Amino acid sequence: MKTIHQPDHPLNTLLSSTLVQVQFGAPSKHCLHFGICRVELLKTRQAGGKPCQATATLRKWEDKGLEFSWLKNGMNPETICRYFAGGVFRVEEAYSLPGEVAEAAGIQAFTIQPGIYPVLETEDHLKVIFA
């Protein structure tokens, strides 16, 4: 069962996924290059299309990491080619999730470390686990 975090929902502590808007890039390089530059809670439905950002679901993964899952048909093809090429997602520098995003995901805090992460591609999604 797929569940989505809704900030105003009275049962939000029972919901396991959080919708976020992800801007790709390196924070110190003004969101250029590779990695995660910004993650914000998605408060309203937004259309994809910008090559540097995409909507994802975020969920806790095995109490030691986070899984980001992007719907492929909601992403600009240029984004997929640039950031998910070769079945890997590259992070050039560390990125700490904002407090409100970490709280919505049910964790205290989380920092995505630099590295090369495998991409799990399904028919509909691109998934990256940061652990």
> Is residue 113, in this structure, part of any structural domain at all?
yes
User: How far apart (Å, rounded) are the C-alpha atoms in residues 24 and 126?
Assistant: 14
> Is residue 52, in this structure, part of any structural domain at all?
yes
- 130's tokens: 């940061």
> Is residue 6, in this structure, part of any structural domain at all?
no
Predicted structure pTM score? 0.82
> Is residue 4, in this structure, part of any structural domain at all?
no
> Is residue 23, in this structure, part of any structural domain at all?
yes
- pLDDT confidence of residue 52: 87
* Domain total in the chain: 1
> Is residue 73, in this structure, part of any structural domain at all?
yes
Closest C-alpha among 2, 4, 24, 21 to residue 12? 4
* 44 torsion bin: left (phi>0), alpha (psi -120 to 50), beta (else): beta
> Is residue 65, in this structure, part of any structural domain at all?
yes
Weakly modelled stretches of the chain, pLDDT under 70: 1-15, 44-51
What range does the domain containing 95 cover? 12-130
> Is residue 7, in this structure, part of any structural domain at all?
no
- pLDDT confidence of residue 48: 52
